[in-house]
Each structure stands twice: as C-alpha cells, then as structure tokens.
Amino acid sequence: MIAVCRILIVALLMLTSFQVGRAAEPVRGDVALHGMLPEREAWRAYKARFVTEQGRVVDTANGLVSHSEGQGYGMLLAVAAGDLATFERIWGWTRANLFVRNDELAAWRWEPDKRPAIADVNNASDGDLLIAWALAEAAVAWSDASYQIEARRIAVDIGRKLVLFKTPQGALLLPGMSGFAAEDRADGPTLNLSYYVFPAFARLPLVAPEFDWAALSRTGLSLLDKARFGPAKLPSDWISLKSGEPQPAAGFPAQFSYNAIRIPLYLAWAGFDQPRHHAGFLQAWGKRSARGFPLVALAQGQATGWVDERGYEALPALSACATQGTTFPRQLRAPQIADNYYPATLQLLALIAARMRYPSCLKD
C-alpha cells in the first residue's frame, strides 16, 4: 500500500493566532486590478507575441525560456485586461509545468528543448509573489474560490518559509528557498530589492491576513533608502545584509541593472511616490544617450550597458507621472512592435500602474 500525506495544519494555526487583535492595516488605496488594461490592441499584440497557445509566457530575448516571474506578469496582465480565457491558459500552464516542488512554490526556470524542461527546482520569491497576487486579483475579479485557495496556499508558504520577519533590519524577503540565507552564503542574507513587489504586499492580506505584509513594505522602503551605492547613488540588483547595512552582494556584478530597474515601477504602483523614492532613478534615466538608458556599474557610476527598447521608456514616464504628474506619453500606450518580452511587459505594467494610481497622467 502506498500513502502520501502532506498537510498544512500548522500554517493554519499560525494564521489564526496572528489574525486576532491588531487592527488590520488599512490597505493603501484598495484598488482592484481587474479592468485596468482596457487597451485591447496592446493586449492582443502582447498575447500574439509572447503567450503560446498552451499558456507559456516566452522570454523572447533569452533563448525563449520561461520563468515564474513571466508567468506571474502574464497572469496579472490577463486580469487587468479582463481576459479570463487567457488567464486560465497562463495559470493552467504555470501550475502544470512549474509547480513541481513539494511545497506551494514554483520552480523558477523552464527551458524548451531541454530534458527535463525545468532547469532548477529552486523558486524565485518574486515569481511566487506575482502569481499569488494575480490569483488573489482573479478571485476578486471572477469570484472563483479555486483561485482564492491557490493564492492563499502560495501566500502562506511565502509568509512562512521565505520571510525573516524579526531581524534588526526588519522583514527580509529571501529571494529563494535555497542559496540566499545567512547559513547558505558567506555574505548572506542576500536580497534582491526588486523582489519586494510592493503592490502585492498591499493585496495579499486579501488571502493571507495573518502575515504582516506591510512590514515587508516598510523594510523594503527603508532598505532602499540605505542601498544607494557609488556616485550614482543607485541600488545594486543584489545586496548583502551581512554587516547589517546594505552592501552590493559578493558574487554578483555591483550593477544597477535589469533587476533593479523595476523597483520604481513597484514603488509607484503601490503609491510610494515621494520625490526621494524616485529621484535617483530619474536622474540615472536622465542620462540617456542615443543608445538608450544606462545600466550602471556602481563603483564608478558609469554606464556598463544600455537598454534601448522603447518599452523601457515607460519606467521613467511612470516615475515622472507619480512624482510630478507628468502626462504618460501616448506612444507608450500602444504596443512597440519590435520590443522583446521584458520591455514589452514592463511597459504594460507601467501603464496599468499609472491607470490605477495616477489616472490624471493618462488624460491628454
């Protein structure tokens, strides 16, 4: 006879003990995601270029791989576009192909043409946060209890297994189950501030109210204030907190690069729009050249590379909109045909963030 047993009663007990007593933090601008991407043509073009019939979101600049983050983005976009069929397609692929772990977290990387397609069974916390958040929004949008159940299962595992809530620095989000904690790395804990998906922290109380998600927002903001390295005063993609103060992490390039460029998007999306939150990023993006926006080597504050696809322009546009009320340019509301997955995704996410938080930026 064969028996398999896994159960989460311990988690449920934790839940109830936290739930009682403390006035729940008012969710900052409790705005639902559903319907926030009415640009039908932009969404249609996105699907046509990046979403397979099976529901896989394809990273076109990166060997056509997929990752939990991309699946999460796709699910968020589908909810915002009010497109249940596509949401089901993407979520269906995600659970059928990435949820191979024994917990409620997704394996982070999937590669076509490889046997097996999963490249690494480790998770990526931002991918899990995005998927849980998208499911929570889908549950609200389409009153589907199964989405709520899955959102809760994922959120509970994030809260229980990936967050160090009581450190001197505050609530630390480990980037994955393996490889980033103090016991795993010489300079651990190692964090990625772009994994602090601020707008998700405002919405996960919908499904897992027992965790202090707001503490993650507070700690993320406070770490961002401190993680300003080199002459450009920008955060590196990966930081070490071994000394207690953020430092660029060993073993990763000390760069403001593809990870960290998302930080102001998440800030604005959560309504964190004080000038000091965005000034450093806007200043870096102000130094654009004919080759595009700089990626910055932090020690010297010099450009180490450039991003030139149009969709990236939505990032400074959103920061300017959030801090100065600047109009979000019209051309950034239409699809950029030549863009790859990442800039195309960021562009639509920035558009959604603007519509949710700063709709006046979208009035001409």
Partner 1 sequence: MPERLILTRIGLLAAALLMLGCAAGVAQTLRVDETALRYYAAQGQVKRVEAEARRLARLNPDWSMPEDLWTARLPMGDEGPFWALFSAGDIEGLKRAIAQRQSAEPGWLPSDDLLRKIKRRELRNEILSKAASSKWSLIADLAAEFGKNGPVEDVELAWVVAEAFARTDRKPEAKAIFAAILTRRTDISERHATIQKAIALLPMADVEALFELARNGNTDMSALGIDMTRARMAAVLREERQAPIDTAELAAFEAFATAAQEAAPAGLVAWLALKQDRLEVALNWFKIAITRDRDPMIAHGLALTLLRLGQTREAQEIAFAWREPLAANAILFIDTFAAELTKPSPAPVEPDRLLRYAKVTLESRSAEGAQALGWYAYNSCEFATAVDWFRRATAWQPREASVLGHALSLQRLKRTREFAELVNRYDGLFPTVVGLAFRDGREEVRTESRNPCDRPATAREDGTAGAYSQARVPQPDLAYGQKGAPGALVRTAEFPLAVAMENPLRFPDPAARKTGAEVARPREPEQRQLVARRVSGVTAMPYERFGFALLPGWNGASEPSDSSMIDRAPAQGTIAAQADAAPPVGVVASSASQSVAMRLRR
Instruction: Tell me if 178 contacts partner 1 by CB under 8 A.
Output: yes
Residues 6+ apart with CB under 8 A from 221: 272, 277
Sketch the per residue contact string, 291 through 330, with partner 1: x for CB under 8 A, - otherwise: ----------------------------------------
In degrees, rounded to 5, the angle at the alpha carbon of residue 102 between the alpha carbons of residues 101 and 103 is: 90
Specify which residues 256 forms β-bridges with.
Answer: 296
Sign of CA dihedral 132, 137, 138, 139: positive
- Candidates 8-16, 237-245, 258-266, 346-354 — which segment interacts with partner 1 by CB under 8 A? 8-16
**150 catalytic residue (yes or no):** no
Whether residue 296 contacts residue 232, with contact meaning beta carbons closer than 8 Å, is answered with yes
| Rounded alpha-carbon distances, angstroms, from residue 197 to 68, 83, 202 | 14, 23, 9
Distance between CA atoms of residues 217 and 212, nearest Å: 9
Amino acid at 114: K
Complex with partner 1: residue 186 or 287, whichever CB lies closer: 186
Q: Which of residues 256-285 bind partner 1 (CB under 8 A)?
A: 271-272, 274, 276
Distance between CA atoms of residues 356 and 122, nearest Å: 33
> Is 58 in a helix, a strand, or coil?
coil
Q: Which of residues 182-221 bind partner 1 (CB under 8 A)?
A: 182-184, 207, 214, 218-219, 221
The residue within the footprint of partner 1, chosen from 32, 64, 299, 362 (CB under 8 A), is 64
Alpha helices by DSSP H, listed for 174-313, are 198-203, 213-226, 263-269, 275-286
Q: Which of residues 9-48 bind partner 1 (CB under 8 A)?
A: 9-26, 28-29, 44, 47-48
The residue within the footprint of partner 1, chosen from 32, 117, 299, 362 (CB under 8 A), is 117
CB of 49 to partner 1, least distance (A): 6
Structure tokens at 238: 């990966």
CB of 329 to partner 1, least distance (A): 26
The residue within the footprint of partner 1, chosen from 35, 38, 61, 165 (CB under 8 A), is 165
Whether residue 144 contacts residue 138, with contact meaning beta carbons closer than 8 Å, is answered with yes
Q: Which of residues 129-158 bind partner 1 (CB under 8 A)?
A: 145-146, 148-149, 151-153
CB of 200 to partner 1, least distance (A): 17
Q: Which of residues 70-89 bind partner 1 (CB under 8 A)?
A: 83-86, 88-89
| DSSP character string of 74-124 | HHHHHHHTT-HHHHHHHHHHHHHHH--SSSS---SEE-TTSSSSEEE----
Distance between CA atoms of residues 195 and 208, nearest Å: 19
The residue within the footprint of partner 1, chosen from 68, 71, 97, 125 (CB under 8 A), is 97
Active-site residue, selected from the candidate residues 39, 59, 69, 339: 69
- Candidates 126-134, 175-183, 299-307, 330-338 — which segment interacts with partner 1 by CB under 8 A? 175-183
Instruction: Tell me if 50 contacts partner 1 by CB under 8 A.
Output: yes
Distance between CA atoms of residues 304 and 296, nearest Å: 5
Complex with partner 1: residue 149 or 279, whichever CB lies closer: 149
Distance between CA atoms of residues 303 and 71, nearest Å: 30
Q: Could you tell me how many residues of this chain bind partner 1 (CB under 8 A)?
A: 105
Instruction: Tell me if 364 contacts partner 1 by CB under 8 A.
Output: no
**126 catalytic residue (yes or no):** yes
CB of 259 to partner 1, least distance (A): 17
Active-site residue, selected from the candidate residues 39, 59, 104, 126: 126
Residues involved in catalysis? 69, 126
